[in-house]
Amino acid sequence: MDNKTQPATNREHQSKWTLRNIILIALIAIFTGIIFWGAGFLYTALTVVLTPIGAAPFANDLLMGLWCMAGPLTGFVVRTFGSAFVGEFLGAAVEVFLGGQWGAGAFISGLVQGIGSELGFAFTGYKRYDWVGLNASIFTTVVVTFAWDMIKNGYNKFGIPLLLALFVTRYISTFIFGGVLTKMIVRLLDRSNAFSL
Amino acid sequence: MTDVLIDHFTYEYPGSTVKVLNDVDVTFKHNHFSLLTGPSGSGKSTLLYFIAGLYPHFIGNDALGGIKFGDTDIKQIPSNEISHSVAMMFQNPNQQFAMDTVIHELTFVLENMLVEPAKMDGIINHALAFCGIKQLRSRVINTLSGGEKQRVALACIVAMDPPVIVLDEPFASIDPDSRLDLIKKLKQLQVEHGKTIILADHDLNDYKGVIDEFYYLDPDTHHISLLDSQSAQHFFDNFKNTQTINKQVAIPTEAAPSIINIKDFKLQPHHSLLLKLGDFKFCKEKTTLITGANGIGKSTLFNALTKLLPYDGEIDFAGKNIQKIRPLPYAKNVTLLFQDAENQFLNITVKEELDLSLKNRTNQAYSIDDVQTMLKELSIDGRDDQVVYSLSEGQKKKLQIIEMLIMNPPVLLMDEPFKGLDYHSLEVVVGFLNRSKQEFHQTQIIISHQLSGLDTLIDYHANFADQNLTYQEVIK
Amino acid sequence: MNPGLKLLLVMAIALEISFTQSLIVNVILICVSFIYILFNRVTFKALIGLIFWPLFPALGLFVSQWLYGSAGIHFAWILFTRIYAYVFLGATFTLTSSITDLALTLEQDFRLPSKFAYGVLAAFNLMPKINEEVQIIKTSALMRGEALHFWSPKLYFKAILSSIQWSQNLAEAMTSHGFVEDQGRTHYRVIKITAMDWVWFIGLFGIVQVLLFFIRY
């Protein structure tokens, strides 16, 4: 540990695009990207199991919350316009550079997920860093990403019941990872005073 | 003339009432090599960060008093010109470069300083040559050793060419040859290029005869005083004493029961060989001290023993190849006390941390009363609800030691466990460790530079040198 | 080709084929990208990975569309090839461009503020260290008797604490290396977008438009 004391304690929350915050957002995005990378086998395994019954899209929707975690996290840590978008996009970019199975698709997904995540914070005016703000972000994330998958992954050609099931699955996943898990992480950070950056 | 004047300088951390620097009033003289020492955590770094112009920008609250370079108040220097006045070298070699390769970092530095591109090649060649690292020019920084990284950091400073150079414990994790070489280079910068050098270090090796002034930051008064040559000598002697004990130890016999066996072992991260062992054992229920120079690979060996790093060959624990033991059981059997206490923490408050250890310990060796007694003996009792990250470095270390003792792993590896502890606490901890070994049959392997006070603990001594680890009878 | 323009082109085409439905254009994009990659010294192992791993999502989408989709097998094939088109398009960028060059051109040609270009670049350059740090966090938790998984809040908590500390260290180090936010810099290596870059960009993008216009199958 460095000799100097953590400069984090008890300071007014900065919400600016400083060099430090940019690096912070990028680091969090890379950390989450690497952690998901370790969970990548899960997607492949789920797909293998679900493909024979034609239910492979559920793998996508089950894990959607995980892939959309960098946004809410960076949005909460650096409370300013654009931080959730940049965090989510960079998180996706990490997957591309690690050699993920989505290639350029991950860039686009990152853009879409980033917009979804950011919109929620925008709707609450970057003022509600609580359940309201988080739920707004979850809602916009689910709606935006689902709309995107209607086009990109051909969900629009599915029947209503299947669509509904996929939507609900995605909502639950996003609620658990982007909501409950994010909230638990934020609470730990709060209690350790790490937030007074 | 650029004397660095510290004028009635007083600072306390945000939210704290302790003045970490209290009315500091000193002048670091132009073209002198000043050494600033004092226990870790005493505020040396804080002062250097202010001199380098990084604080208050990066910490949020300002200090009372002022800092001047000659006649110029540091606050009057615009932010884009400060690096023409002062440059800094940091303690952690890993997080001080923005770019991927050495040459890219050097050009990054010069671009920041608005140097004309046409002049850059000359400056860079000179800086690399001065630091003796022309061969590192195109290397990826992540693959360099700690010593090489600090040489690159110095090359950046040489390229920047500011009159004042501050260094914050720059040699904490580098090998002795690099250390000696860098100290010589700094002296050369002072003598031949007229630089003012201010260096903070608590390790006093190699400075005698090099430095011009010796400053001491007293951890109790938070004052800095300039020592006369007699007091300085006293400090040098004292430091030597902490690094020696007079003890003869046995060399483990063939018959001595072992718990960890290493066979046909090679450790070579980034393809540079650190350690090669044909056959080596650590003895059961004994305390083995590993000594050796900084940056030579001692901690890296611990990383191999804890499966954090790949290696060639085989390591057996209790007769079984560690690669065949599942991660959780292995980690609870062969546990590392990390050098950085924060690495060990998983919870928020002191009580939560202790409760976690009580919940997950391998056996019930320590009673609740024992834990309370230990906390009291190290005077960190009654802090149940304090956030662990807000403890002082010394308190963190004490808590970390207690919670890992409660876990009571059969093998406890300790990486510089006494760093940041005062001498009394060290004696108390040595008592704890002896109890763990004698009553609870723990095997202990310790990396430590601090040797005085460990006489009663150490059973065997292995020296790490020349890519080899060998048992020795004397400890020095 | 200029890495910034290349990224833009790749993303634009990827975006476009998400909306369009031409099997043949997808296949053409895959083939052209594949050939481009082959000409750029790619390892055999990487190539196999590129072909193997996307098989799972591609097959998954194919089967579900085939079974439950209303648009028939042709559309299922479009989705299948679309996944591969994304992957090979992406690879033409990631396998042939350096992140450093991308940061340089984004700063010099795309007017991205230098604090973004170099801040993100500095973080990316720590990637191997971040990998190690994740291992350290997991191992040290095991030593306390807890296994951390991707659903464990503490794993992210510790990762963010490290991020906070590291971002502070890096920002301080860059500042002490003379970097000042929103200030001018000189450029040792000037990366320009050449006329040739524009010709390629517009040409390739134009060809894709023509193909998409004429080839509707």
* Residues in a beta bridge with B72: B69
CA distance A153 to A80: 32
Mean pLDDT on B56-84:
91
Q: Indicate the residue of A5, A10, A188 with minimum beta-carbon distance to B348.
A: A188
Q: Is A54 on the interface with B (CB under 8 A)?
A: no
Decide if pLDDT at B106 tops 70.
yes
* Cβ contacts of B117 on chain C, cutoff 8 Å: 186-188, 190
Q: Residue B293: what pLDDT?
A: 85
Q: Residue B28: what pLDDT?
A: 95
Nearest to C97 by CA among C4, C11, C17: C4
State the number of CA atoms in the 13 A half-sphere of A25 facing the CB. 31
H or E segment and range at residue A57: helix A57-67
Q: Residue A105: what pLDDT?
A: 85
Percent of chain B with pLDDT over 90: 80
Which tokens belong to B434? 């002896």
Nearest to A48 by CA among A101, A98, A108: A101
Q: Is A188 in Cβ contact with B387 (below 8 Å)? A: no
Residue ranges of chain C with per-residue pLDDT less than 50: none
Q: Residue C105: what pLDDT?
A: 95
Decide if pLDDT at B1 tops 80.
no
What's the maximum distance between 2 C-alpha atoms anywhere in chain A? 62
User: DSSP letters along A99-168, please?
Assistant: T-TTTHHHHHHHHHHHHHHHHHHHHTTTT--SHHHHHHHHHHHHHHHHHHHHHHT-GGGS-HHHHHHHHH
Residue A154 φ/ψ region, left for φ over 0, alpha for ψ in the -120 to 50 degree band, beta for the rest: left
Q: Is C169 in Cβ contact with B90 (below 8 Å)? A: yes
* Cβ contacts of B393 on chain A, cutoff 8 Å: 1, 3
Q: Indicate the residue of B45, B348, B390 with minimum beta-carbon distance to A4.
A: B45
* Cβ contacts of C160 on chain A, cutoff 8 Å: 28, 31, 73, 77, 185, 189, 194
* Cβ contacts of C142 on chain B, cutoff 8 Å: 327-328, 330-332
Decide: helix, strand or coil at residue B189.
helix
Q: Residue A196: what pLDDT?
A: 61
In the complex, which subunits touch A with 3 or more CB pairs below 8 angstroms? B, C
Q: Residue A2: what pLDDT?
A: 39
Decide if pLDDT at A9 tops 60.
no
What's the pLDDT tens digit per position in B293-308? 888 889 999 999 999 9
Nearest to B338 by CA among C19, C143, C44: C143
Which tokens belong to C173? 């180090």
What's the pLDDT tens digit per position in A70-112? 999 999 999 999 999 999 999 999 988 887 677 888 889 999 9
H or E segment and range at residue B352: helix B350-360
In the complex, which subunits touch B with 3 or more CB pairs below 8 angstroms? A, C
In a domain, A5, yes or no: no
What's the pLDDT tens digit per position in B351-408? 999 999 999 999 899 999 999 999 999 999 999 999 999 898 889 999 999 999 999 9
Q: Residue A4: what pLDDT?
A: 42
Q: Which amino acid is at B74?
A: I
- pLDDT-derived band at B175 (thresholds 50, 70, 90) equals confident
CA distance B207 to B34: 10
* Cβ contacts of B90 on chain C, cutoff 8 Å: 169, 172-173, 176
In a domain, A4, yes or no: no
- The residue count for chain A: 197
- Is the Cβ–Cβ distance between B28 and B198 less than 8 Å? yes
- Taking the mean position of all CA atoms in its chain, how far away is CA A165? 21
Q: Is A11 on the interface with B (CB under 8 A)?
A: yes
Q: Indicate the residue of A1, A9, A193 with minimum beta-carbon distance to B13.
A: A9
Closest Cα in chain B, distance from residue A169 (Å)? 32
Q: Residue B474: what pLDDT?
A: 87
Domain B4-243 fold = Rossmann fold (3.40.50)
Task: Please classify residue A88 by burial: count the beta carbons closer than 10 Å to its beta carbon, then call 0-12 exposed, 13-18 middle and 19+ buried.
Answer: buried
Q: Is the pLDDT higher at B11 or at B243?
A: B11
In a domain, A59, yes or no: yes
Mean pLDDT on B269-295:
92
Mean pLDDT of chain A: 88
Segment 135-164 of chain B within 8 Å of chain C by CB: 141-142, 156, 160
* Cβ contacts of C123 on chain B, cutoff 8 Å: none
- Is the Cβ–Cβ distance between B85 and B92 less than 8 Å? no
Q: What single DSSP character describes residue B140?
A: B
* Residues in a beta bridge with B317: B260, B320
CA distance C33 to B387: 54
- Burial letters for B118-139: b for 16+ Cβ neighbours within 10 Å, e otherwise? eebeebbeebbebbebeebeeb
- pLDDT-derived band at B74 (thresholds 50, 70, 90) equals very high
Q: Residue B422: what pLDDT?
A: 86
How much is the pTM?
Answer: 0.94
ipTM of predicted assembly, 2 dp:
0.93
User: DSSP letters along B377-425, please?
Assistant: HTT-TT-TTSBGGGS-HHHHHHHHHHHHHHH--SEEEEESTTTT--HHH
Planar angle of CA C172, C176, C180, nearest 5 degrees = 85
Four-CA torsion C174, C175, C178, C180, nearest 10 degrees: 110
Mean pLDDT on B116-128:
97
Task: Please compute Rg for chain B using Cα positions.
Answer: 24
Mean pLDDT of chain B: 93
Segment 39-58 of chain B within 8 Å of chain C by CB: 49, 52, 54, 57-58
Lowest mean pLDDT among A183-187, B371-375, B421-425: B421-425
Mean pLDDT on B261-281:
92
Closest residue of chain A to B12, computed from CA coordinates: A5
What count of other Cβ atoms lies within 10 Å of the Cβ of residue A164?
A: 11
Q: Is B307 on the interface with C (CB under 8 A)?
A: yes
Q: Pick the residue of B348, B391, B416 with the most A CBs within 10 A to test the interface with A by mutation.
A: B348
Q: Residue B373: what pLDDT?
A: 96
CA distance B293 to C3: 45
Which tokens belong to B268? 């070579």
Q: Is B363 on the interface with C (CB under 8 A)?
A: no
Q: In chain C, which residue ranges form alpha helices assigned H by DSSP?
A: 3-19, 23-38, 44-52, 55-68, 72-94, 99-108, 114-125, 127-143, 153-176, 195-214
CA distance B221 to B375: 26
Q: Is A184 on the interface with B (CB under 8 A)?
A: no
Mean pLDDT on B231-249:
87
Decide: helix, strand or coil at residue C132.
helix
- pLDDT-derived band at A13 (thresholds 50, 70, 90) equals low
Q: Residue B231: what pLDDT?
A: 92
Which tokens belong to B326? 């599942």
Q: How many domains does chain A have?
A: 1
Q: Residue B452: what pLDDT?
A: 86
Q: Residue B108: what pLDDT?
A: 97
Closest residue of chain C to B400, computed from CA coordinates: C144
Q: Pick the residue of C130, C140, C176, C179 with the most B CBs within 10 A to test the interface with B by mutation.
A: C176
For chain C, the domains span 3-101+192-214, 114-176
What's the pLDDT tens digit per position in A107-116? 899 999 999 9
Residue with tokens 């703000």: A133
Q: What single DSSP character describes residue B304?
A: H
Q: Is B335 on the interface with C (CB under 8 A)?
A: yes
Task: Please classify residue C193 by burial: count the beta carbons closer than 10 Å to its beta carbon, then call 0-12 exposed, 13-18 middle and 19+ buried.
Answer: middle
CA distance B96 to B447: 26
Decide if pLDDT at B158 tops 70.
yes
- Is the Cβ–Cβ distance between B31 and B4 less than 8 Å? no
Task: Please compute Rg for chain A using Cα positions.
Answer: 17
How far is the CA of B47 from the CAs of A7, A36, A197, B26, B62, in angstroms?
14, 41, 21, 11, 12
Q: Indicate the residue of A36, A152, A159 with minimum beta-carbon distance to C150.
A: A36
Q: Which amino acid is at A178?
A: G
Nearest to B37 by CA among B219, B212, B293, B177: B219
Please tell me the CATH code under which domain B247-475 is placed: 3.40.50.300
Q: Is B348 in Cβ contact with A192 (below 8 Å)? A: yes
| Helices and strands in chain A: count of H runs, count of E runs | 9, 0
Q: Pick the residue of A6, A22, A188 with the most C CBs within 10 A to test the interface with C by mutation.
A: A22
Task: Please compute Rg for chain C using Cα positions.
Answer: 22
Decide if pLDDT at A1 tops 60.
no
